[in-house]
Structure 1
Amino acid sequence: MATTPRLVLREWETAHASDHPVLHNLWTTHPDLERDARRLREGNALRVEDGRQGVSIKAQRHVGVVRLGPLHVTVQPRLAHADLWYILEYGLGIDRLDRPPPVDLLLPEASFADLIALALLEKTKRLSRRGPRRGYARQEEWLSQLRGRIDITCTEKAMPLTRASLPCIHHILSTDIPENRMVRAGLKLAAQAAYSPGLKAELAKLERSWSELCGSLMLDTATLRQMSRELTRLTADYAPILRLITLLHEGRGMSDTLEILTPGQERLPGFLWDMASLFERFVERFLREHLKSASVSRQKPIEGLYEVVRAPRGFSARNREPRPDILLEREGQVVAVLDTKYKDFKDDYLDRNSLYQMSVYAVAHAPSDAATMPVPVIVLYPRANATSADDVVYAFKHGRQGRQSPIIVRGIDWSRASQALRNPARHNELATIAEEWTRTEE
């Protein structure tokens, strides 16, 4: 039996045919490869190109596993697994998972989906030990004795042959509720997305046990968002499980672009998840908890920057306002705008579109008072062993009275922050790290 050719990359790494024989003649021998490569490129997941010596594959900010023609491609994060495990917990608010993992992962081949699936397995087992929530489920049935209330909308056609019964509407206490159905569907999804056989078996076993408690449901974006909105104090235990299932669902779709399939087109098999979301969530929570000099707001829209003067009938201007990732405020005034960019700035280069975006933020928060200092805009991106010497500073010129707003491109070592968070002896570093990330130029 022929083995599946495999290729393991790290974020931003490029594999060339000259170094990987599995990439030789791949383009010509598999006609569907060009189509799949185009879809991955449009979703900013992988860049697959055909060259003189063969195919080259460049990983970007997506991590996980994808099947590309006959090739099994794994993209691993640059972070060490210990750091990634903790960052995943901290960024998503699913702290204090048990260690060591209850099943073996096939490292380094295991994908990012395995870590999420492993976290889901542990959280679901913990919920099972406490006991799944019960709720009242509506029942409509014919009974010989009245229970609940009579269904007066029941028609003569729906009546059974015997009239010695009544159409009743009543509620029974049951585990077959939407929250438990979501858990079961998530376990099934995780078993499909995971790569390590031991983990897949554990997930499938747990899913079978939940099948005795409840039915399942179809997971889609609308359903997951609705369940997130409807979380209450009574269903708080399901919140971290819902976040993990949402991540798995996003990764299976790979991107908004890749979810738009033409008729007859199949979804690419695999799991690729955008690390930019995790980076933003980690940075926002870290600053909110450890920055002492300012308060932190996330995704706060800049209102009043644009006004629709004329538009066709039916045009909606909703969600047109710019939304910086993070705003730092002091006494109700914005003192800095932060934007996270999960990119590989080898030469500290900020692309044109990103620079234009930061310029809009600078204009939006430019003070009308000439005596007030302009609000700085800080771009944060991941960089190991980053120092202040690595900062790149632009000066955005407002064109009046020579005023300028600084745009600072700054690498931050979130691995260092992760290590300080999980080591009580280093907790005194946390406030210092937060200040370093948000410092402005003098």
Structure 2
Amino acid sequence: MPDRTPVQLGEYESAALEPDQLTPRDVDRLHALQARGSLTLTREHTGWRLKADATVGVLVLDRVRVVISPKFAIPGEQLMSWLAYALGTPVPAPAKRWATGPDGYADLVAAALLEECERLLREGPRRDYVRRRSVEPVLRGRLDVAAQATRRYGQLDQLHVRTFDREADIWDNRVLGSALKAALGMTAGPGLARALHGVAGGFPEAPTPAAALRALDRTHYTRLNARYRPAHTWARLLLRGGGVTDLLSDHGTTADGLLLAMPPLWEAVVRRLGTDAVGPRGGHAVPGGGGVGITVRGDLGNASTFRPDLLLSLPGPDTAHRTLLPVDAKYKRHDRHGVSAADVHQLLTYGSGYAFADAPRAVIVHPQPSGHARRTLQVRGPNGVLGTLHVLGVDTRATPEQATAWIGSVLH
């Protein structure tokens, strides 16, 4: 990979770029990322200004390599634990390669893919029967009589045959070959790049990255290929440049890199935290956020519907009744700033729509890097209490298992 000027910035921070640091192709790619809300590019008198939104990761351009770090200083091991937890995949084994360095968080995902691919090679890549047509000097498989008659005119010096052999050149392996190649394009560490290059030779590639993504979307896991699921999870992340099914959406951006939108990632974390925490206590998550949701009708245009990020069904005071508790994930520093009026209004609406009328309540869950925290907001009006909001700060330096236990102890 050619040397590129490193540009370091954090979430919501900006950096100035010289006019010649961005090629016309870079400008087009950055505008495409701006359209999806990942960053903002503005023209200035002295050049360009690049501003990150709620996005972290790495972006490899023609002349610069942009590394965006999260506003919460999370060690590499912890970030991978939370990312794996949100994706529902096993956490990669800790190693020296997991240390977060100047190369950015994209190297962590590339190392996770590398580790899973190394495991698959040790176990032996999966093989399956593949139909092929070929011309051979001797008979293998079955003779293609029609092709032999129409293309060789009955001559037998070369035989058109159809074979059905077990091969490793199947889609389960092709998507990994394409993902390893994509990881090589964004990896800065020479040691990791050498390891990726060495493993890539053990996997065939798909014709295009888009073909690999389509194959991943069609993949169904059985006992034959279940061991590929973790590797495919990291491959999907790299091939989509950060987009994951049910976590982020792929917008077809052509820029090389790995950009993670942190608010959807935090929402995925909170959904799993709440679900795992209330299960042992007789609760469960309500699929789809509670059916039809809260609907607004009568305004101009179509009716609007909105739902909380997570709706929990909890045991009530007696076995005949259950309590619905709406939970909203907020990727904000509520340990430093109070809850805004807009967020209070939103949560009060959720509480009124789903909870008991005499005691509406709702929950805000936000990341907090300095320890778990809980506070309770009571909203009152002239006629009494309008609702209760529980603000829960989850320690991002703790493990997901520790956070799950704590969430379970305060959600009741």
State TM-score, norm by structure 1: 0.70
1:119 to partner: Cα distance: 0.6
Check 1:233–1:330 CA distance in 2 against 1; reply closer, same or farther (3 A cut): farther
User: Are 2:135 and 2:160, in contact at CA under 8 Å, matched by a contact in 1?
Assistant: yes
- Give the aligned partner of residue 182 of structure 1: 175
1:413 to partner: Cα distance: 1.3
| 2:311 paired residue among 312, 327, 340 | 327
1:141 to partner: Cα distance: 5.0
- Give the aligned partner of residue 108 of structure 2: 115
Flag structure 2 segments of 5+ consecutive residues without an equivalent.
Answer: 316-320
| 2:164 paired residue among 161, 165, 171 | 171
Local SS of the residue matching 2:281: coil
Query: What is the aligned length?
Result: 392
The residue identity in structure 2 corresponding to 1:248 is L
Higher deviation after alignment, 354-363 or 62-71: 354-363
In structure 1, distance between residues paired with 2:47 and 2:109: 34
The residue identity in structure 2 corresponding to 1:73 is V
The residue identity in structure 2 corresponding to 1:377 is A
Higher deviation after alignment, 26-35 or 286-295: 26-35
Flag structure 1 segments of 5+ consecutive residues without an equivalent.
Answer: 17-22, 262-266, 310-315, 422-426
Aligned: 1:81 with 2:66: no
Local SS of the residue matching 2:208: coil
In structure 1, distance between residues paired with 2:122 and 2:305: 46
- Give the aligned partner of residue 385 of structure 1: 370
The residue identity in structure 1 corresponding to 2:370 is N
Local SS of the residue matching 2:58: strand
Deviation string 1:203-227 (CA, Å, 9 cap, x unpaired) is 122112324xxx5343334432222
- Give the aligned partner of residue 97 of structure 1: 92
- Give the aligned partner of residue 318 of structure 2: none
Local SS of the residue matching 1:381: strand
- Give the aligned partner of residue 295 of structure 1: 283
Check 1:180–1:402 CA distance in 2 against 1; reply closer, same or farther (3 A cut): same
In structure 1, distance between residues paired with 2:324 and 2:98: 47
Task: Write the mapping of 1:336-355 to structure 2, written as runs, cut at 5 A.
Answer: 336-345=325-334, 346-350=336-340, 352=342
Aligned: 1:259 with 2:251: yes
Check 1:79–1:96 CA distance in 2 against 1; reply closer, same or farther (3 A cut): closer
In structure 1, distance between residues paired with 2:46 and 2:206: 49
User: Are 2:14 and 2:49, in contact at CA under 8 Å, matched by a contact in 1?
Assistant: yes
Higher deviation after alignment, 182-191 or 69-78: 69-78
1:169 to partner: Cα distance: 5.0
Task: Write the mapping of 1:28-427 to structure 2, written as runs, cut at 5 A.
Answer: 38-48=31-41, 58-67=51-60, 71-77=64-70, 78-95=73-90, 97-101=92-96, 108-141=101-134, 147=141, 154=146, 158-162=150-154, 169-211=162-204, 215-220=205-210, 221-227=213-219, 230-251=220-241, 259=251, 267-291=254-278, 292-297=280-285, 300-305=288-293, 322=306, 324-330=308-314, 333-345=322-334, 346-350=336-340, 352=342, 358=347, 361-362=350-351, 364-367=353-356, 373-374=359-360, 376-385=361-370, 388=373, 391=375, 393=377, 395=379, 404-418=386-400, 421=401
Local SS of the residue matching 1:64: strand
The residue identity in structure 2 corresponding to 1:225 is D
The residue identity in structure 2 corresponding to 1:171 is F
Check 1:36–1:175 CA distance in 2 against 1; reply closer, same or farther (3 A cut): closer
Check 1:275–1:256 CA distance in 2 against 1; reply closer, same or farther (3 A cut): closer
- State the percentage of identical aligned residues: 23
The residue identity in structure 2 corresponding to 1:414 is T
1:240 to partner: Cα distance: 0.6
User: Are 1:87 and 1:282, in contact at CA under 8 Å, matched by a contact in 2?
Assistant: yes
Task: Write the mapping of 1:18-33 to structure 2, written as runs, cut at 5 A.
Answer: 23=16, 26=18
In structure 2, distance between residues paired with 1:3 and 1:431: 46
1:122 to partner: Cα distance: 0.6
1:116 to partner: Cα distance: 0.5
